[in-house]
Structure 1
């Protein structure tokens, strides 16, 4: 329940209350000025939903980088694997690699 105040506050005639109050003495008459989608709770829910749906600028940047980075890493790693596989499988190329890496 939203009370509107952190601590109890005395309210007078025509003072607004947000979501609730404690009646310590006397008669309490409250007029609802905002209901349904106009209420404070409904506005808070809308703000939270829009904040969760919106992407931060850093998240947009990370998405744009990963769009190219991930495929590039996969292609480079597969190319490296192919080079090593065919390098050691082909006899004349394996002699070149032996002399290159083992002096």
Structure 2
């Protein structure tokens, strides 16, 4: 069953993870949406992150979950960016991907079943 997450990036220029190798590179709502959608549909971001861990084989494989049908839309509202994510990926995995991409530069406002 899919879940819809309502996420805000208060300042797109500060929505960057602690490691530039995994961070958002976009500056606009559409770009943030595309990058997050790719991170949910494919395992490339997870695999790059896992490879940097001290013992990659010990990383919880459930963190690598993907959802080929995940969708993300983005809208600019003054200085902040609103993202609406629809996915079957568990919330803890979504949050892990967001921390890699945006660090602490995001907030979750609402969650609904689809």
TM-score, with length taken from structure 1: 0.19
The structure with the larger Rg is 1
User: Which structure shows the higher strand fraction?
Assistant: 2
User: Which structure shows the higher helix fraction?
Assistant: 1
TM-score, with length taken from structure 2: 0.18
Higher relative contact order (CA 8 A, sep 6+): 2
